[in-house]
Amino acid sequence: MNVNVYNNFDIKLQGPLYNLDCYNFWDLNNCHNNFKSQKYYEHVESIRTKSNCLYNGLTQMAAIDFKKYDFNYKNYYDSLSKNVKRDINLCNRSNFYFKKYDFNKHIYDFVEINQSQKDKKGKINPWYLQEPNYFKNSHSTGFHTWEDEQHYGTWYGLFKYFKHYKQGNTITNEKLFAYCKILIDGEMATIGLIWTHANYQNKGLAYCLITSALQQVMENKRVKFFVYSGWGQYPRWKSRMLFQPMPISIIL
């Protein structure tokens, strides 16, 4: 499948770079030097020449083609299984709510979510276990210098209201339980960093988070494809949200 990302000299591609080299290209601010480096341009050249391991027209990515649902979220939602809809409804009934948010206001919850996954799995990539200060000053609101209306990232999360709840010394009155960053590059939206609190996974958080983010993306009529890394990673689980294996060739 050919996907046009409308690359130009004023922006930086985020979704493809995240999938190719996630911990070096997860944020425009914290990875500023990497986005300016020769490494960035080498990755872009590998996309142009199809010499990378993902966007070569052969590797199966996990993707949803919005044309299949006429760019209509109801059509997509109606196609989901009863079990997935049940879990989405469970999340909503449990008083979780979905919204766009400022990452920098919820870094302590972000770190707690990551730690909960370590507690459950026993071992995760140590990148996730760094101190809150490491993640501060991430790009989160408005367009970055390297973004425009066709190239940008947005943080979405699932929250619960707790009166007087704090992040450090700041009162937020709400707690983050699941996060994801959606990266828009022309016709393609990519799921970047994503995780849910391990102690609440039986509340349908992941299904609610991803389908709610998809609904937001689908409102952007420029976007045609919703991509969630490679198909080889949790294919059965991804298929429940109607992701399908799809080779992607990026047109720069």
Percent of the chain whose predicted confidence (pLDDT) is above 90: 98
pLDDT in tens, 15-56: 999 999 999 999 999 999 999 999 999 999 999 999 999 999
Q: What confidence score (pLDDT) does residue 208 get?
A: 98
pLDDT in tens, 199-221: 999 999 999 999 999 999 999 88
Pick the closest to residue 135 from 108, 164, 100 (CA basis).
Answer: 108
Q: What confidence score (pLDDT) does residue 114 get?
A: 98
CATH architecture of 2-251: 3-Layer(aba) Sandwich (3.40)
In this predicted structure, the answer to whether residue 168 has a pLDDT above a threshold of 90 is no
Give every strand in the sheet of 244-247, ordered side by side.
97-100, 151-161, 174-185, 188-196, 225-230, 60-65, 244-247
- Total-model pTM: 0.97
Q: What are phi and psi of 2, to 5 degrees?
A: -85, 130
Do the Cβ atoms of 114 and 124 come closer than 8 Å? yes
**Which residues does 32 contact at the CB level (< 8 Å), separation at least 6?**
none
Alpha-carbon separation of residue 4 from 81, 103, 222 (angstroms)? 31, 28, 10
Q: What confidence score (pLDDT) does residue 243 get?
A: 98
Residues in the chain: 252
pLDDT in tens, 83-116: 999 999 999 999 999 999 999 999 999 999 999 9
In this predicted structure, the answer to whether residue 13 has a pLDDT above a threshold of 90 is yes
DSSP labels, 70-111: TT-HHHHHHHS-HHHHHHHHHHHHTT-EEEE--GGGSHHHHH
Q: What confidence score (pLDDT) does residue 47 get?
A: 97
Confidence band of 249 (pLDDT split at 50, 70, 90): very high
Q: How far apart are CA 24 and CA 233, in angstroms?
A: 20
Do the Cβ atoms of 117 and 124 come closer than 8 Å? yes
